[in-house]
Amino acid sequence: MLRRLCWTLFAAVAIAGVPLQQAQALPAFALQTGQPCSTCHIGAFGPQLTPFGRQFKLGGYTLRAVQYTPPLALIAIASFLHTAKDQPAPPAPHYGVNDNATIDEIALLVAGGYGDHLGSFVEITYDGIGRSVGLDNSDIRAVDRETIMGSDVILGLSVNNAPTVQDAWATLPVWSFPFTDSALAPTPSAQPVLDGSFNGNVFGTSAYAWWDSDLYTEAGFYTSLSKGILRAVGVGADGTNLIDGAAPYLRVAYQKDYGPQNFEVGAFSFLGDIFPGRDQTTGHSDHFTDVGIDASYQFLGTGEHIATLNARYTHENETFDATELLGGASNHSDDLNEIVLNASYYWQNTIGVTVQHFDTWGSRDALLYVANRTEKPDSSGFLFQIDGTPFGKPDASPYGPWVNVRVGLQYSAYTKFNGAGRNFDGLGTNAGDNDALRLFIWTAF
């Protein structure tokens, strides 16, 4: 069985054509399963999955009701962003200090199942802000189904390029709300490394088991891609860190369904020795340990009224064997903490409202947070979103399952930003100056 999994996984890599921002309610998956997007996705769109959707993903994207469907999809996101005050400089070339309209991304996806044991979600994205094309979120799976000690078990191997991209719950970083955002918006400088430091610039392999559709266990590791491979897949190495050897990743989650409602509780961990900025001149690496817990609850009811709750807490311990020698940290060891809580309501999988609270805090460090007046990483605030998804339900679209679309309005409000609520940079800038209003349209074909 293990040999069969390994061979099918090798075939998956070959099919995807990849060297050894986010999933949507893809029409390719709807066509393959014969189900409307609302069967798999909360709000009929976006990465937040129903129990059926999680089963489809953990089953390797292989469930099929139609003999053959093309495993291709196209998504596009465009938006307009206004900040409470002009940013001190344009957030990217070709943009102004405020009131920017842009195509955020256009992505081609190779997404679907190939037989009973092989499936892929591979995203090739045109970054409208960076004006570049590269390999984006990718998850290639080989699966098998066995009976072990009387339990029905899905056994799987995942090759992916971002820690937590393989996860099936909307709690961990890659798939957590807001599901779509803008690189033009000002964001706090401090976050745990698991929150995106290695998205797209690593190679990961993990093995998982899904026991009786209740208990999920996973163990894997990540290694950094070389600069040459990053160039080949269109990913810039500038600003990335280099993992020294391999970084283990562990995940466990327990899910239980009770008819129209379900809940999940879980834990996760990522441990890595890291060369900051790929700088190996000191002969030492920093050590990061991220450990956390997460939970989610969904009330699906009859489909008319849907409510969800998601929560994540992450604690990060940072030991700066390299950064301290490079003059980038005044402490040898720091801590960083993050809490993310959100709740959403959807009416008939069409109109949705979501509120999120986020809070990051940690050790004072005069060099690591030299640009912050308080020398602290503390940032907190709220994110509000209202959105409409007219398609995605049975017989809702004049184009059938070929088209889905979401239009939304987001507002982010900061109570603290990079250490303080007022004058956080010592130049008179307040946290609320970074509040942002974003209007977006998100389509899938």
According to the model, what pLDDT value does residue 38 have?
86
pLDDT confidence band for 239 (50 / 70 / 90): confident
pLDDT > 80? residue 29: yes
Tell me, yes or no, whether 216 lies in a domain. Answer: yes
According to the model, what pLDDT value does residue 25 have?
61
pLDDT in tens, 396-427: 666 666 788 999 999 999 999 999 999 999 99
User: Domains in the chain: how many in total?
Assistant: 1
∠ Cα 391 263 207 (to 5°):
90
Tell me, yes or no, whether 51 lies in a domain. Answer: no
Tell me, yes or no, whether 319 lies in a domain. Answer: yes
pLDDT in tens, 326-368: 999 999 999 999 999 999 999 999 999 999 999 999 999 999 9
Mean pLDDT on 247-253: 98
In whole angstroms, what is the distance from residue 363 CA to residue 330 CA? Answer: 11
Residue 273: phi, psi to the nearest 5?
-95, 125
According to the model, what pLDDT value does residue 360 have?
98
Share of the chain above pLDDT 70, in %: 93
CATH number at residue 386: 2.40.160
Tell me, yes or no, whether 238 lies in a domain. Answer: yes
Closest CA to 193 of 279, 316, 276: 316
According to the model, what pLDDT value does residue 396 have?
64
Tell me, yes or no, whether 44 lies in a domain. Answer: no
The answer to whether the beta carbons of residues 46 and 12 sit under 8 Å apart is no
Domain range holding 325? 78-104+146-444
pLDDT in tens, 11-28: 333 333 333 334 456 777
Tell me, yes or no, whether 244 lies in a domain. Answer: yes
pLDDT in tens, 291-322: 999 999 999 999 999 999 999 999 999 999 99
In whole angstroms, what is the distance from residue 181 CA to residue 178 CA? Answer: 7
- Measured CA to CA in angstroms, residue 261 lies from 41, 299, 393 at distances of 14, 4, 20
Q: Which two three-digit tokens encode residue 111?
A: 């997404």
Tell me, yes or no, whether 332 lies in a domain. Answer: yes
Tell me, yes or no, whether 40 lies in a domain. Answer: no
In whole angstroms, what is the distance from residue 202 CA to residue 223 CA? Answer: 6
Asked which of 83-97, 100-114, 188-202, 384-398 is least confident by mean pLDDT, the reply is 384-398
According to the model, what pLDDT value does residue 36 have?
84
